[in-house]
Amino acid sequence: MLTKKEVEESGYTVLPRGGWMYVDPEIVPRDWDDLAKSFGFDPECEGVYLCICGFKERNNEEDD
């Protein structure tokens, strides 16, 4: 489990309230199997809900 401090130290802004994003294979067809393997969900499922706790803006290639 990530802590608020870890999220902030990674350069992310912590959201005051979390959110959820629904992702299905049609949105990321080429990466779906890799995402399933990385996060441990069944690649044959209809979709997954991701819990979002923060964000980090990307303004150019050097922001990685």
Query: Do residues 22 and 47 lie in contact, with contact meaning Cβ atoms separated by under 8 Å?
Result: yes
Q: Measure the CA–CA gap between 28 and 50, rounded to whole angstroms.
A: 14
25-52 pLDDT, tens digit each? 999 999 999 999 999 999 999 999 999 9
- The two tokens of residue 31 are 């990466």
Asked if residue 61 has pLDDT above 90, the reply is no
3-22 pLDDT, tens digit each? 999 999 999 999 999 899 99
Q: Measure the CA–CA gap between 7 and 46, rounded to whole angstroms.
A: 29
Strands 48-55 and 13-23: antiparallel
Quick one: pLDDT at residue 1?
Answer: 80
- Compute the radius of gyration of the chain from its Cα atoms: 14
- Scan for tokens 């902030």, then name that residue: 8
Quick one: pLDDT at residue 62?
Answer: 65
Indicate the domain borders of the chain: 4-56
